[in-house]
Structure 1
């Protein structure tokens, strides 16, 4: 960029698994961090934005299709879900409700995955209090939309009634190559898996890989993460979605 603006790294709000709202350095509070739309129960979900800072903030809201390919997240434009309003100016201390609305629900018994991106829009002329280096923050919140006749089984909630439960089904393997050893996780189920408190369990004890969030594996996708030096094998244990305890995953 020709300006002195620094683009901050993407701040994924879902990393704060223990809280219902997250506040970043720019004083924007966003909640909930895991919005869900189930076609049998609602056509939209609420996302709240709050300005905890001392200056007005201009925000842009976009909903992008979220896929995973070649061990990377892929975000692409789509027209199935929209955020309303798409633009908002938050005065200090004020809140804004953004409604995430489904225009084209998924087919029966299926689930779609999205990312809601909330970008700060910097003013053309910096305000007096913003002279110097400016940070343009981006917030990324996962959004899952479930089609008719199904519900998301996150490992904790009670079944909301009749319907097919959608849950992840994970398989793991450890592969060592010239660039080190990697943990590969494949999701064979119809629902996304959010992994936290991941560890390799061996007879000699546990080797933690992630105390908090490790990442997501979307339905039908495969992701990988590097293992610490010297770690080559073990049984993988992880907390999946909202389950209260870690579970041992099945090996491929």
Structure 2
């Protein structure tokens, strides 16, 4: 049975696919605020550009029985030139390219909106007769760093692949380091009742990314005019990472009778 998609039905199918992808994205709670415009420290963009394999690199990737996603390996293959000739009968060569982390498979991407406390705004209104208003003002510059939860070979390459997958899965702007500058403010007001102490806590959120990285020894096989990638001694290892959310702060407000 042949199904023919009209332009309208094709557009509906595309919309369904987009909606399905969005349904897996992280929902940001009301207590979390984007401070990108107010942040006195301009964080550089952490987006990992998707490296496009060359025609030869794509041919080599397709020949491998193990999925290859490592952008550093793809870049090296892009920069390589392999000349072949139709008259190279009987020609055979094996080139060892090293041991590489080949791909990362994500199993869980979960946010922690209170990953690290970065600020406390406080006012003592116990002697007051009316509510007192406070708002968020960053008192010191804070550098929030993430990282892998265990030592692992080729850690920086693995972090790049994990960052890409975590960003895709969450829909959030992520980076292994983010900075909240001193003097960063938000106008939203919190009321401290009379006879109370008010505490406005600020937290840097982060994503806990978990999954599996696959390693292997990569060989370039040249036989006549045929070029292929062969991966040997394949191993897999579970790994996790904390990846801060760029330019976001989670707030928690408490009015208390006693100092905390």
TM-score, with length taken from structure 2? 0.26
Q: Which has the higher contact order (CA 8 A, sep 6+)?
A: 2
- Which protein shows a greater Rg? 2
Higher strand share: 1
Higher helix share: 2
TM-score, with length taken from structure 1? 0.26
